[in-house]
Structure 1
Amino acid sequence: MNLYFRLILLFFKIKRNRDYQQLLDTIDIEFKALPTDCDINFHLTNSRYLAMMDLARTWMTERVGLLKHIMKRRWFPIVNATAITYIRDIKPLQKYTVSTRLVGWDHKYFYIEQKFHSERGLHAIAYVRGVFKR
């Protein structure tokens, strides 16, 4: 991940978080498409969607109270598969929200839905399958 500045800001936000939500709630985090996030077509580059999804999942684990337990047990959440559908582009300097929701789990994997949306509507929807490793 090459979003170190945003990751540092996220950790400051995590330190201040005292408002926890339920495990199955939808957790939102807002971003702005910086010029460095965009490609030659002047929209958010495809790889940046995945990087922002990483940040949003980290925020989700904090908001539901799991981050401290994951770190304490030295578990590593690993993305096993991702399917993403791009619907409309995100322009430079446009504000957008990533909504993250745990949709289920089984004996091995957890499943997460992530949506990118703004005042212009839905931009992308992704489904992530992950696993915790030690």
Structure 2
Amino acid sequence: MYPFLRMSKEFWKFRNAPPLDIFDTHVSHHICWPWDLDMWLEMNNGRVLTLFDLGRLVLAGRTGFVRIIRREGWMLTVAGSSVRYRKRVRMFDRLRMTSRCVGWDEKFVYLEHAMWKGADCTSHVLIRMAVTDRNGLVRTDRVLAAFGRPMPAPRLPDWVRAWAEADALRPWPPMQDTPTQMQARAA
């Protein structure tokens, strides 16, 4: 179940926090609770993504983005992600999470989140986020104009561009062949 109480706590906790600019970093702190664990008694990989989601929502609130999407009747959706898990997170570990925008292209906004246990990064995710309305995708130039910040897309970091280019090569929809059909096609 989505942690609505945790989300409410995050919004309450940062309700009077200073606003952030588009490229500023939102920092939050979390604890790995027993209900965050998987059967190996470490934080479930899906829960990690959910906590990153909470960071993204508060970041959107602190930058004024939530106000703009509500005013325009837009919605936010995750359109892709790439995750690295590197260190285990155990019950009652205290974590620092960072969330920030790394740039955008004509269609998507790219955000990165990192989770830290002390000096060790436990996980990192790149999120490709889209703004949508009832007609589909809202282009980022229109979003920035509504934001009162019309500006050209900054040059994305090389690793973000490479990921976006590689992901564009991925077939969609994915193949639905059975292993036997794939072997027959390969022969």
TM-score by structure 2 length?
Answer: 0.67
- Match for residue 10 of structure 1? 10
Larger displacement relative to structure 2 (116-125 or 30-39): 116-125
Higher relative contact order (CA closer than 8 Å, sequence separation 6+):
1
Matches within 5 A, 1:24-35: 24-35=23-34
Q: CA deviation at 1:65?
A: 1.9
Identity over aligned residues, as a percent?
24
Report 1:107-122 matches (<5 A).
107-122=106-121
Match of 2:116, SS?
strand
Worse-superposed segment, 106-115 or 4-13: 4-13
Indicate the structure with greater helix content.
2
Select the structure of larger CA radius of gyration: 2
Matching of residue 103 in structure 1 with residue 112 in structure 2: no
Structure 2 unaligned spans of 5+: 134-187
**What is the number of residues matched between the two proteins?**
133
Q: Is the 8 A contact 1:88 1:122 kept in 2?
A: yes
Distance 2:119 2:42 in 1: 14
SS in 1 for 2:114: strand
User: Whole-Å Cα distance in 2 between the matches of residues 124 and 59 of structure 1?
Assistant: 19
The Cα RMSD (Å) is: 1.4
Provide runs of 4+ in structure 1 moved above 6 Å: none
Aligned to 2:70: 71
Instruction: Say which SS state the counterpart of residue 31 (structure 1) adopts.
Output: strand
TM-score w.r.t. structure 1 length?
A: 0.92
Report the 3-state secondary structure (helix = DSSP H, G, I; strand = E; otherwise coil) of the residue aligned with 1:79: strand
More strand by share: 1
Distance in 2 (CA, whole Å) between partners of 1:85 and 1:104 is 20
